[in-house]
Structure 1
Amino acid sequence: RKFWALARTGQGTTLRGNDQVNGYLLLATSCDGTLATTATPTTVRVVCNNTLTIALDGTTRAIKVPHNTRFDPQAVKKQLGIAVSQWDTFMHRMRTLSERKVQWHEAMGFFMSVVCDVPPNSKLPEVLPNERALRKVQSLYEGGGRGATLESAQGTAWGLLNAVTEYVDHERRARSTEYRMDSAWFGQGAFIKQRALQAALQLAA
Protein backbone atom coordinates (compact mmCIF):
# COMPACT_ATOMS: atom_id res chain seq x y z
CA ARG A 1 0.00 0.00 0.00
CA LYS A 2 1.33 3.44 -0.98
CA PHE A 3 1.12 6.65 0.99
CA TRP A 4 1.64 9.96 -0.76
CA ALA A 5 1.45 13.69 -0.16
CA LEU A 6 2.03 16.85 -2.17
CA ALA A 7 4.19 19.52 -0.54
CA ARG A 8 4.32 23.07 -1.93
CA THR A 9 7.81 24.30 -2.77
CA GLY A 10 6.70 27.94 -2.89
CA GLN A 11 7.58 28.19 -6.57
CA GLY A 12 5.09 29.36 -9.14
CA THR A 13 4.90 30.74 -12.66
CA THR A 14 2.10 32.43 -14.58
CA LEU A 15 1.90 31.75 -18.31
CA ARG A 16 -0.04 33.87 -20.79
CA GLY A 17 -3.73 34.28 -20.04
CA ASN A 18 -3.20 34.04 -16.27
CA ASP A 19 -2.37 30.32 -16.46
CA GLN A 20 -0.85 29.57 -13.05
CA VAL A 21 1.54 26.65 -12.56
CA ASN A 22 2.88 25.85 -9.07
CA GLY A 23 5.75 23.71 -7.88
CA TYR A 24 5.32 20.74 -5.53
CA LEU A 25 7.21 17.75 -4.25
CA LEU A 26 5.33 14.49 -4.63
CA LEU A 27 6.30 12.48 -1.55
CA ALA A 28 5.55 8.77 -1.62
CA THR A 29 6.35 5.68 0.40
CA SER A 30 4.95 2.24 1.14
CA CYS A 31 4.34 0.51 4.43
CA ASP A 32 5.56 -2.88 3.20
CA GLY A 33 8.93 -1.77 1.86
CA THR A 34 8.08 -2.44 -1.79
CA LEU A 35 8.47 1.23 -2.73
CA ALA A 36 11.46 3.34 -1.78
CA THR A 37 10.58 6.63 -0.14
CA THR A 38 10.65 9.10 -3.02
CA ALA A 39 10.43 12.85 -3.47
CA THR A 40 9.67 13.89 -7.04
CA PRO A 41 9.58 17.53 -8.22
CA THR A 42 6.16 18.02 -9.80
CA THR A 43 4.13 20.83 -11.32
CA VAL A 44 0.41 21.39 -10.78
CA ARG A 45 -1.53 23.53 -13.24
CA VAL A 46 -4.05 25.34 -11.07
CA VAL A 47 -6.91 25.67 -13.57
CA CYS A 48 -7.27 21.91 -13.98
CA ASN A 49 -5.13 20.26 -11.28
CA ASN A 50 -3.09 18.49 -13.96
CA THR A 51 0.18 17.14 -12.61
CA LEU A 52 3.44 16.73 -14.48
CA THR A 53 6.75 15.43 -13.21
CA ILE A 54 9.57 17.87 -13.83
CA ALA A 55 11.92 16.20 -16.28
CA LEU A 56 14.93 17.66 -18.02
CA ASP A 57 16.61 15.87 -20.91
CA GLY A 58 14.15 13.01 -20.56
CA THR A 59 15.04 12.17 -16.97
CA THR A 60 13.10 12.94 -13.81
CA ARG A 61 14.82 14.31 -10.74
CA ALA A 62 13.24 11.99 -8.17
CA ILE A 63 15.14 11.44 -4.93
CA LYS A 64 14.87 7.86 -3.66
CA VAL A 65 15.69 6.53 -0.21
CA PRO A 66 15.44 2.71 -0.02
CA HIS A 67 13.90 1.37 3.18
CA ASN A 68 16.96 -0.74 3.95
CA THR A 69 19.37 2.22 4.08
CA ARG A 70 20.03 4.64 6.91
CA PHE A 71 18.25 7.94 6.35
CA ASP A 72 20.75 10.75 5.82
CA PRO A 73 18.80 14.02 6.11
CA GLN A 74 21.70 16.21 4.96
CA ALA A 75 22.28 14.19 1.80
CA VAL A 76 18.57 14.20 0.98
CA LYS A 77 18.34 17.94 1.66
CA LYS A 78 21.22 18.55 -0.75
CA GLN A 79 19.59 16.39 -3.43
CA LEU A 80 16.27 18.17 -2.94
CA GLY A 81 17.96 21.53 -3.36
CA ILE A 82 19.42 20.42 -6.68
CA ALA A 83 16.08 18.99 -7.82
CA VAL A 84 14.07 22.07 -6.88
CA SER A 85 16.62 24.32 -8.59
CA GLN A 86 15.61 22.76 -11.93
CA TRP A 87 12.30 24.67 -11.72
CA ASP A 88 13.38 27.77 -13.65
CA THR A 89 14.82 25.75 -16.53
CA PHE A 90 11.76 23.52 -16.73
CA MET A 91 9.27 26.40 -16.63
CA HIS A 92 11.24 28.27 -19.29
CA ARG A 93 10.60 25.27 -21.52
CA MET A 94 6.91 25.23 -20.59
CA ARG A 95 6.70 28.92 -21.48
CA THR A 96 8.25 28.08 -24.85
CA LEU A 97 5.54 25.45 -25.36
CA SER A 98 2.86 28.04 -24.59
CA GLU A 99 4.27 30.30 -27.31
CA ARG A 100 4.58 27.56 -29.94
CA LYS A 101 1.50 27.66 -32.16
CA VAL A 102 0.64 24.32 -33.75
CA GLN A 103 -1.11 23.45 -36.99
CA TRP A 104 -3.91 20.90 -37.19
CA HIS A 105 -1.70 18.27 -38.81
CA GLU A 106 0.93 18.77 -36.08
CA ALA A 107 -1.69 18.27 -33.39
CA MET A 108 -2.93 15.09 -35.05
CA GLY A 109 0.61 13.79 -35.42
CA PHE A 110 1.29 14.54 -31.76
CA PHE A 111 -1.80 12.70 -30.51
CA MET A 112 -1.28 9.76 -32.88
CA SER A 113 2.27 9.35 -31.64
CA VAL A 114 1.61 9.85 -27.91
CA VAL A 115 -1.80 8.22 -27.50
CA CYS A 116 -1.91 5.64 -30.30
CA ASP A 117 1.82 4.91 -30.52
CA VAL A 118 1.75 5.50 -34.29
CA PRO A 119 5.03 7.14 -35.38
CA PRO A 120 4.81 10.40 -37.35
CA ASN A 121 4.60 10.06 -41.14
CA SER A 122 3.89 6.33 -40.93
CA LYS A 123 1.00 4.51 -42.58
CA LEU A 124 -2.15 4.42 -40.47
CA PRO A 125 -3.08 0.94 -39.22
CA GLU A 126 -6.45 -0.46 -40.28
CA VAL A 127 -7.54 -0.61 -36.66
CA LEU A 128 -6.37 2.41 -34.71
CA PRO A 129 -5.21 1.51 -31.19
CA ASN A 130 -6.69 3.58 -28.36
CA GLU A 131 -9.15 5.33 -30.68
CA ARG A 132 -11.46 6.23 -27.80
CA ALA A 133 -8.57 7.86 -25.94
CA LEU A 134 -7.54 9.70 -29.11
CA ARG A 135 -11.01 11.19 -29.52
CA LYS A 136 -11.06 12.23 -25.88
CA VAL A 137 -7.72 14.05 -25.89
CA GLN A 138 -8.69 15.76 -29.14
CA SER A 139 -11.89 17.05 -27.57
CA LEU A 140 -9.98 18.23 -24.48
CA TYR A 141 -7.48 20.07 -26.68
CA GLU A 142 -10.15 21.62 -28.88
CA GLY A 143 -11.86 23.40 -26.00
CA GLY A 144 -13.35 20.66 -23.83
CA GLY A 145 -10.50 20.63 -21.34
CA ARG A 146 -10.24 22.84 -18.28
CA GLY A 147 -8.09 25.80 -19.27
CA ALA A 148 -8.03 24.72 -22.93
CA THR A 149 -9.22 28.13 -24.12
CA LEU A 150 -6.64 30.13 -22.17
CA GLU A 151 -4.23 32.09 -24.35
CA SER A 152 -1.34 29.89 -23.21
CA ALA A 153 -3.07 26.67 -24.29
CA GLN A 154 -5.36 27.40 -27.23
CA GLY A 155 -3.72 26.10 -30.38
CA THR A 156 -0.31 25.67 -28.72
CA ALA A 157 2.09 22.88 -27.79
CA TRP A 158 1.30 23.61 -24.13
CA GLY A 159 -2.35 22.91 -24.94
CA LEU A 160 -1.40 19.59 -26.55
CA LEU A 161 0.56 18.55 -23.48
CA ASN A 162 -2.23 19.52 -21.10
CA ALA A 163 -4.86 17.65 -23.09
CA VAL A 164 -2.85 14.49 -22.42
CA THR A 165 -2.14 15.26 -18.76
CA GLU A 166 -5.82 16.03 -18.12
CA TYR A 167 -6.84 12.81 -19.82
CA VAL A 168 -4.37 10.74 -17.78
CA ASP A 169 -5.09 12.48 -14.47
CA HIS A 170 -8.87 12.83 -14.70
CA GLU A 171 -10.44 10.99 -17.65
CA ARG A 172 -8.58 7.75 -18.31
CA ARG A 173 -10.53 4.58 -17.61
CA ALA A 174 -9.63 3.01 -14.29
CA ARG A 175 -11.21 0.83 -11.62
CA SER A 176 -11.33 3.83 -9.31
CA THR A 177 -9.97 7.33 -8.88
CA GLU A 178 -7.30 5.87 -6.62
CA TYR A 179 -6.13 3.45 -9.33
CA ARG A 180 -6.11 6.25 -11.92
CA MET A 181 -4.04 8.47 -9.63
CA ASP A 182 -1.59 5.66 -8.91
CA SER A 183 -1.11 5.10 -12.64
CA ALA A 184 -0.81 8.83 -13.34
CA TRP A 185 1.99 9.22 -10.81
CA PHE A 186 3.74 5.87 -10.68
CA GLY A 187 2.59 3.70 -13.59
CA GLN A 188 1.56 3.68 -17.24
CA GLY A 189 -0.13 7.07 -16.96
CA ALA A 190 3.11 8.67 -15.78
CA PHE A 191 4.89 7.12 -18.77
CA ILE A 192 2.28 8.54 -21.18
CA LYS A 193 2.65 12.02 -19.68
CA GLN A 194 6.43 11.92 -20.03
CA ARG A 195 6.08 10.75 -23.63
CA ALA A 196 3.74 13.70 -24.24
CA LEU A 197 6.25 16.07 -22.64
CA GLN A 198 9.08 14.86 -24.86
CA ALA A 199 6.91 15.05 -27.99
CA ALA A 200 5.80 18.60 -27.14
CA LEU A 201 9.38 19.71 -26.51
CA GLN A 202 10.41 18.23 -29.87
CA LEU A 203 7.66 20.26 -31.55
CA ALA A 204 8.96 23.43 -29.96
CA ALA A 205 12.64 22.70 -30.60
Structure 2
Amino acid sequence: MHLVSNMAYVGEIPWHGLGNQLSPKQPIEVWARQAGLDWTIESADVRFVASSTSGSPNNIGSIHAFPEQRVLYRSDTKAPLSVVSSRYQVVQPREILEFYRDLTEVGGFELETAGVLKDGKKLWALARTGQSVSLKGRDEVNGYLLLATACDGTLATTAQFTSVRVVCNNTLAIALGDSAGCVKVPHRSQFDAQAVKRQLGIAISSWDGFMVRMKALVERKVSDAAAEAFFQRVLTYPASTGLPAPATNDSAIKAAHALYAGRGKGATLPSASGTAWGLVNSITEFVDHQRRARSDDHRRDAAWFGAGATLKQRAWDEAMKLVA
Protein backbone atom coordinates (compact mmCIF):
# COMPACT_ATOMS: atom_id res chain seq x y z
CA MET A 1 0.00 0.00 0.00
CA HIS A 2 1.27 3.50 -0.84
CA LEU A 3 1.72 6.02 1.92
CA VAL A 4 1.13 8.73 -0.69
CA SER A 5 -2.55 9.69 -0.58
CA ASN A 6 -2.45 12.65 -2.99
CA MET A 7 0.29 14.41 -4.86
CA ALA A 8 0.98 16.86 -7.66
CA TYR A 9 4.28 17.33 -9.46
CA VAL A 10 6.01 19.23 -12.24
CA GLY A 11 8.52 17.59 -14.59
CA GLU A 12 9.64 13.97 -14.25
CA ILE A 13 7.20 11.30 -13.07
CA PRO A 14 8.04 10.70 -9.38
CA TRP A 15 9.48 7.58 -7.78
CA HIS A 16 6.13 5.81 -7.29
CA GLY A 17 4.42 6.81 -10.55
CA LEU A 18 1.50 8.40 -8.69
CA GLY A 19 0.18 11.94 -8.72
CA ASN A 20 -1.21 14.65 -10.98
CA GLN A 21 1.24 16.16 -13.44
CA LEU A 22 1.08 19.95 -13.70
CA SER A 23 2.58 22.28 -16.23
CA PRO A 24 5.17 24.68 -14.73
CA LYS A 25 4.37 27.93 -12.89
CA GLN A 26 0.85 27.04 -11.75
CA PRO A 27 -0.71 29.28 -9.09
CA ILE A 28 -0.84 28.11 -5.46
CA GLU A 29 -4.63 27.56 -5.79
CA VAL A 30 -4.11 24.96 -8.55
CA TRP A 31 -1.39 23.24 -6.50
CA ALA A 32 -3.75 23.05 -3.50
CA ARG A 33 -6.45 21.37 -5.56
CA GLN A 34 -4.22 18.98 -7.52
CA ALA A 35 -1.98 18.00 -4.59
CA GLY A 36 -4.96 17.16 -2.38
CA LEU A 37 -4.20 20.01 0.04
CA ASP A 38 -7.52 21.84 -0.35
CA TRP A 39 -9.07 20.86 3.00
CA THR A 40 -8.60 21.94 6.59
CA ILE A 41 -7.74 20.19 9.82
CA GLU A 42 -10.66 20.55 12.23
CA SER A 43 -10.67 19.71 15.91
CA ALA A 44 -13.32 18.45 18.33
CA ASP A 45 -13.56 17.48 21.98
CA VAL A 46 -12.65 13.94 22.91
CA ARG A 47 -15.78 12.22 24.26
CA PHE A 48 -16.22 8.74 25.61
CA VAL A 49 -19.11 6.52 26.61
CA ALA A 50 -18.93 5.27 30.17
CA SER A 51 -20.46 1.83 30.44
CA SER A 52 -23.76 1.52 32.23
CA THR A 53 -23.68 0.30 35.83
CA SER A 54 -27.22 -1.11 35.77
CA GLY A 55 -26.23 -4.12 33.68
CA SER A 56 -29.12 -3.52 31.31
CA PRO A 57 -28.06 -4.19 27.67
CA ASN A 58 -30.31 -1.34 26.49
CA ASN A 59 -28.69 1.24 28.71
CA ILE A 60 -25.76 2.60 26.64
CA GLY A 61 -24.23 4.54 29.50
CA SER A 62 -23.38 8.22 29.74
CA ILE A 63 -21.23 10.41 27.48
CA HIS A 64 -18.37 12.33 29.08
CA ALA A 65 -15.80 14.81 27.73
CA PHE A 66 -12.03 14.65 28.20
CA PRO A 67 -11.10 18.35 27.92
CA GLU A 68 -7.30 17.94 27.97
CA GLN A 69 -7.36 16.23 24.56
CA ARG A 70 -8.71 17.08 21.10
CA VAL A 71 -9.44 14.91 18.07
CA LEU A 72 -8.08 16.28 14.79
CA TYR A 73 -10.02 15.30 11.68
CA ARG A 74 -10.28 16.20 7.99
CA SER A 75 -12.92 18.77 7.06
CA ASP A 76 -13.72 17.00 3.77
CA THR A 77 -13.95 13.30 4.68
CA LYS A 78 -14.33 13.69 8.48
CA ALA A 79 -11.63 10.99 8.74
CA PRO A 80 -9.83 11.13 12.11
CA LEU A 81 -6.15 12.08 11.98
CA SER A 82 -4.95 11.99 15.59
CA VAL A 83 -5.64 12.77 19.22
CA VAL A 84 -3.54 15.65 20.55
CA SER A 85 -3.33 17.81 23.65
CA SER A 86 -5.50 20.92 23.85
CA ARG A 87 -2.30 23.03 23.59
CA TYR A 88 -1.39 21.55 20.20
CA GLN A 89 -0.95 24.16 17.43
CA VAL A 90 -2.27 22.94 14.08
CA VAL A 91 -0.53 23.80 10.81
CA GLN A 92 -3.11 23.73 8.02
CA PRO A 93 -2.45 22.04 4.63
CA ARG A 94 -2.91 25.39 2.89
CA GLU A 95 -0.18 26.98 5.06
CA ILE A 96 2.36 24.54 3.62
CA LEU A 97 1.73 25.92 0.12
CA GLU A 98 1.24 29.54 1.21
CA PHE A 99 4.76 29.42 2.64
CA TYR A 100 6.01 29.37 -0.97
CA ARG A 101 3.72 32.07 -2.39
CA ASP A 102 6.14 35.00 -2.20
CA LEU A 103 9.11 32.72 -2.94
CA THR A 104 7.55 31.53 -6.20
CA GLU A 105 5.95 34.85 -7.22
CA VAL A 106 8.96 37.10 -6.61
CA GLY A 107 11.83 34.92 -5.37
CA GLY A 108 12.46 32.74 -8.40
CA PHE A 109 11.51 29.50 -6.61
CA GLU A 110 9.39 26.90 -8.40
CA LEU A 111 7.19 24.28 -6.73
CA GLU A 112 8.07 20.81 -7.95
CA THR A 113 6.14 18.38 -5.74
CA ALA A 114 3.53 18.68 -3.00
CA GLY A 115 1.20 16.24 -1.42
CA VAL A 116 -0.32 14.24 1.39
CA LEU A 117 1.06 11.15 3.10
CA LYS A 118 -0.83 8.69 5.31
CA ASP A 119 -4.33 10.06 4.51
CA GLY A 120 -3.45 13.55 5.76
CA LYS A 121 -1.28 12.82 8.78
CA LYS A 122 1.81 14.16 6.98
CA LEU A 123 1.96 16.99 4.42
CA TRP A 124 4.83 18.35 2.35
CA ALA A 125 5.89 20.61 -0.51
CA LEU A 126 9.26 20.83 -2.28
CA ALA A 127 10.40 23.76 -4.42
CA ARG A 128 13.47 24.35 -6.54
CA THR A 129 15.37 27.39 -5.36
CA GLY A 130 16.83 28.10 -8.80
CA GLN A 131 20.34 27.47 -7.48
CA SER A 132 22.38 24.87 -9.32
CA VAL A 133 25.96 23.73 -9.83
CA SER A 134 27.59 21.50 -12.41
CA LEU A 135 30.51 19.57 -10.90
CA LYS A 136 33.33 18.81 -13.35
CA GLY A 137 30.97 20.02 -16.07
CA ARG A 138 28.66 17.00 -16.04
CA ASP A 139 27.37 16.25 -12.54
CA GLU A 140 24.43 18.58 -11.92
CA VAL A 141 23.14 19.31 -8.40
CA ASN A 142 20.10 21.53 -7.80
CA GLY A 143 19.02 23.34 -4.64
CA TYR A 144 15.57 22.79 -3.10
CA LEU A 145 13.57 23.92 -0.10
CA LEU A 146 11.39 21.32 1.60
CA LEU A 147 8.57 22.16 4.02
CA ALA A 148 6.80 19.35 5.82
CA THR A 149 4.57 18.89 8.81
CA ALA A 150 2.59 16.15 10.52
CA CYS A 151 -0.45 16.19 12.75
CA ASP A 152 0.12 12.80 14.38
CA GLY A 153 3.06 13.75 16.57
CA THR A 154 5.72 12.21 14.30
CA LEU A 155 7.24 15.41 12.93
CA ALA A 156 7.66 19.04 13.95
CA THR A 157 6.96 21.48 11.13
CA THR A 158 10.30 21.35 9.32
CA ALA A 159 11.70 23.73 6.71
CA GLN A 160 14.92 22.40 5.24
CA PHE A 161 17.25 23.17 2.40
CA THR A 162 18.04 20.05 0.43
CA SER A 163 19.89 19.28 -2.76
CA VAL A 164 19.04 16.80 -5.49
CA ARG A 165 21.70 15.26 -7.68
CA VAL A 166 20.03 14.98 -11.08
CA VAL A 167 21.79 11.84 -12.30
CA CYS A 168 20.33 9.66 -9.55
CA ASN A 169 17.56 11.81 -8.05
CA ASN A 170 19.20 11.52 -4.64
CA THR A 171 18.39 13.97 -1.88
CA LEU A 172 21.03 15.23 0.50
CA ALA A 173 20.10 17.80 3.09
CA ILE A 174 22.30 20.83 2.59
CA ALA A 175 24.74 20.43 5.43
CA LEU A 176 25.80 23.81 6.69
CA GLY A 177 27.60 22.85 9.86
CA ASP A 178 25.63 25.45 11.83
CA SER A 179 22.17 23.90 11.27
CA ALA A 180 21.00 27.06 9.50
CA GLY A 181 19.74 24.85 6.70
CA CYS A 182 16.94 23.46 8.83
CA VAL A 183 14.31 25.09 11.05
CA LYS A 184 11.99 22.96 13.19
CA VAL A 185 8.86 24.46 14.77
CA PRO A 186 7.36 22.17 17.44
CA HIS A 187 3.57 21.94 17.51
CA ARG A 188 3.42 23.60 20.91
CA SER A 189 4.49 26.83 19.13
CA GLN A 190 2.62 28.86 16.56
CA PHE A 191 3.97 28.36 13.03
CA ASP A 192 5.09 31.77 11.70
CA ALA A 193 6.07 31.37 8.05
CA GLN A 194 7.86 34.71 7.76
CA ALA A 195 9.86 34.09 10.95
CA VAL A 196 10.92 30.68 9.62
CA LYS A 197 12.03 32.28 6.34
CA ARG A 198 14.03 34.88 8.24
CA GLN A 199 15.64 32.14 10.30
CA LEU A 200 16.53 30.15 7.19
CA GLY A 201 17.82 33.32 5.65
CA ILE A 202 16.37 31.94 2.37
CA ALA A 203 19.90 32.82 1.56
CA ILE A 204 22.21 32.52 -1.39
CA SER A 205 25.03 32.29 1.15
CA SER A 206 23.93 28.86 2.42
CA TRP A 207 24.04 27.43 -1.10
CA ASP A 208 27.41 29.08 -1.75
CA GLY A 209 28.89 27.45 1.35
CA PHE A 210 27.46 24.08 0.33
CA MET A 211 28.88 24.46 -3.18
CA VAL A 212 32.37 25.14 -1.82
CA ARG A 213 32.16 21.96 0.27
CA MET A 214 30.85 19.86 -2.64
CA LYS A 215 33.71 21.03 -4.86
CA ALA A 216 36.21 20.15 -2.12
CA LEU A 217 34.77 16.62 -1.97
CA VAL A 218 35.02 16.33 -5.77
CA GLU A 219 38.72 17.26 -5.65
CA ARG A 220 39.53 14.86 -2.79
CA LYS A 221 40.81 11.58 -4.23
CA VAL A 222 40.27 8.54 -1.99
CA SER A 223 42.32 5.32 -1.74
CA ASP A 224 40.59 1.93 -1.59
CA ALA A 225 41.61 1.58 2.06
CA ALA A 226 40.21 5.02 2.92
CA ALA A 227 36.95 4.17 1.12
CA GLU A 228 36.62 0.91 3.07
CA ALA A 229 37.28 2.75 6.35
CA PHE A 230 34.65 5.38 5.43
CA PHE A 231 31.94 2.75 4.88
CA GLN A 232 32.87 1.00 8.15
CA ARG A 233 32.53 4.27 10.07
CA VAL A 234 29.24 5.33 8.48
CA LEU A 235 27.53 1.95 8.54
CA THR A 236 28.54 0.80 12.02
CA TYR A 237 25.62 1.51 14.29
CA PRO A 238 26.49 2.70 17.81
CA ALA A 239 25.82 0.55 20.88
CA SER A 240 23.27 3.11 22.10
CA THR A 241 20.60 1.85 19.66
CA GLY A 242 19.65 -0.89 22.11
CA LEU A 243 22.44 -3.20 20.95
CA PRO A 244 25.01 -4.36 23.52
CA ALA A 245 27.93 -3.40 21.26
CA PRO A 246 28.43 -1.43 18.02
CA ALA A 247 27.04 -3.41 15.08
CA THR A 248 28.53 -3.32 11.61
CA ASN A 249 25.98 -3.70 8.84
CA ASP A 250 28.03 -5.87 6.47
CA SER A 251 25.33 -6.20 3.80
CA ALA A 252 24.84 -2.41 3.73
CA ILE A 253 28.63 -1.86 3.46
CA LYS A 254 28.78 -4.31 0.56
CA ALA A 255 25.84 -2.65 -1.22
CA ALA A 256 27.17 0.90 -0.74
CA HIS A 257 30.68 -0.15 -1.80
CA ALA A 258 29.31 -1.67 -5.02
CA LEU A 259 27.47 1.61 -5.78
CA TYR A 260 30.70 3.55 -5.17
CA ALA A 261 32.78 1.17 -7.28
CA GLY A 262 30.72 1.78 -10.41
CA ARG A 263 27.24 0.34 -9.96
CA GLY A 264 25.74 3.59 -8.66
CA LYS A 265 24.11 6.14 -10.94
CA GLY A 266 26.75 8.71 -11.85
CA ALA A 267 29.48 6.70 -10.04
CA THR A 268 31.74 6.76 -13.12
CA LEU A 269 31.47 10.54 -13.66
CA PRO A 270 34.79 12.34 -13.17
CA SER A 271 33.31 14.17 -10.16
CA ALA A 272 32.48 10.92 -8.33
CA SER A 273 34.91 8.23 -9.49
CA GLY A 274 37.43 7.59 -6.71
CA THR A 275 36.48 10.78 -4.83
CA ALA A 276 34.98 11.74 -1.49
CA TRP A 277 31.94 13.09 -3.39
CA GLY A 278 31.49 9.59 -4.82
CA LEU A 279 31.58 8.16 -1.27
CA VAL A 280 28.83 10.53 -0.10
CA ASN A 281 26.64 9.77 -3.10
CA SER A 282 26.97 6.00 -2.71
CA ILE A 283 25.50 6.31 0.81
CA THR A 284 22.80 8.70 -0.42
CA GLU A 285 21.78 6.35 -3.24
CA PHE A 286 21.80 3.40 -0.84
CA VAL A 287 19.54 5.27 1.61
CA ASP A 288 17.19 6.75 -1.02
CA HIS A 289 16.80 3.74 -3.29
CA GLN A 290 18.18 0.49 -1.83
CA ARG A 291 18.00 0.46 1.96
CA ARG A 292 15.67 -2.26 3.22
CA ALA A 293 12.19 -0.91 3.86
CA ARG A 294 8.60 -2.10 3.84
CA SER A 295 7.97 -0.08 0.69
CA ASP A 296 9.43 2.68 -1.47
CA ASP A 297 7.22 5.12 0.44
CA HIS A 298 8.56 4.05 3.83
CA ARG A 299 12.08 4.35 2.44
CA ARG A 300 11.42 7.88 1.17
CA ASP A 301 9.87 8.87 4.50
CA ALA A 302 12.99 7.63 6.33
CA ALA A 303 15.31 9.21 3.75
CA TRP A 304 13.78 12.66 4.29
CA PHE A 305 12.82 12.62 7.95
CA GLY A 306 14.08 9.52 9.76
CA ALA A 307 16.92 7.04 10.14
CA GLY A 308 17.93 7.44 6.49
CA ALA A 309 18.39 11.19 6.90
CA THR A 310 20.58 10.52 9.94
CA LEU A 311 22.76 8.11 7.92
CA LYS A 312 23.19 10.66 5.12
CA GLN A 313 24.21 13.29 7.66
CA ARG A 314 26.77 10.89 9.13
CA ALA A 315 28.19 10.20 5.64
CA TRP A 316 28.47 13.93 4.99
CA ASP A 317 30.19 14.54 8.35
CA GLU A 318 32.70 11.72 7.74
CA ALA A 319 33.41 12.98 4.22
CA MET A 320 34.00 16.50 5.52
CA LYS A 321 36.71 15.08 7.81
CA LEU A 322 38.51 13.86 4.67
CA VAL A 323 38.78 17.44 3.33
CA ALA A 324 39.39 19.16 6.67
Task: Quickly say closer, same or farther: Cα 1:204–1:151, change in 2 above 3 A.
Answer: same
Moved more, 137-146 or 58-67: 58-67
Task: Quickly say closer, same or farther: Cα 1:116–1:22, change in 2 above 3 A.
Answer: same
Moved more, 37-46 or 78-87: 78-87
Alignment equivalent of 1:178, drawn from 291, 297, 301: 297
The one-letter code sitting in structure 2 at the alignment partner of 1:147 is G
Alignment equivalent of 2:261, drawn from 135, 142, 151: 142
The Cα shift of 1:153 comes to 0.1
The one-letter code sitting in structure 1 at the alignment partner of 2:143 is G
The Cα shift of 1:2 comes to 1.6
2:285 aligned residue: 166
Is the aligned partner of 1:192 residue 2:311? yes
Moved more, 159-168 or 83-92: 83-92
The one-letter code sitting in structure 1 at the alignment partner of 2:258 is S
Instruction: State the Cα deviation string for residues 5-63 of structure 1 (Å, max 9, x = none).
Output: 21111111110141000000111111345532211000100000111111222636212
CA contact (8 A) 1:17 1:150 kept: no
Q: C-alpha distance in 1, partners of 2:199/2:189?
A: 16
CA contact (8 A) 1:54 1:60 kept: no
The Cα shift of 1:117 comes to 4.5
Any residues of structure 2 matched to 1:1-205 within 5 Å, and which? 1-32=121-152, 34-57=154-177, 59=179, 61-81=181-201, 85-117=205-237, 129-205=248-324
Higher percent of residues as strand: 2
Task: Quickly say closer, same or farther: Cα 1:139–1:58, change in 2 above 3 A.
Answer: farther
Question: Which runs of 5 or more structure 1 residues have no equivalent in the other structure?
Answer: 119-127
Task: Quickly say closer, same or farther: Cα 1:58–1:148, change in 2 above 3 A.
Answer: farther
Moved more, 167-176 or 183-192: 183-192
CA contact (8 A) 1:102 1:155 kept: yes
Moved more, 4-13 or 95-104: 4-13
Moved more, 105-114 or 64-73: 64-73
Q: C-alpha distance in 1, partners of 2:195/2:248?
A: 45
Task: Flag the structure with larger Rg.
Answer: 2
SS at match of 2:266: coil
SS at match of 1:56: coil
Instruction: State the Cα deviation string for residues 86-122 of structure 1 (Å, max 9, x = none).
Output: 110011001100010000100000001111349xxxx
Matched residue count: 197
The Cα shift of 1:182 comes to 1.1
Task: Quickly say closer, same or farther: Cα 1:201–1:186, change in 2 above 3 A.
Answer: same
SS at match of 2:269: coil
Higher percent of residues as helix: 1
Larger relative contact order (Cα-Cα within 8 Å, sequence gap ≥ 6): 1
The one-letter code sitting in structure 2 at the alignment partner of 1:52 is L
TM-score normalised by L of structure 2: 0.57
Q: C-alpha distance in 1, partners of 2:256/2:299?
A: 16
The one-letter code sitting in structure 2 at the alignment partner of 1:154 is S
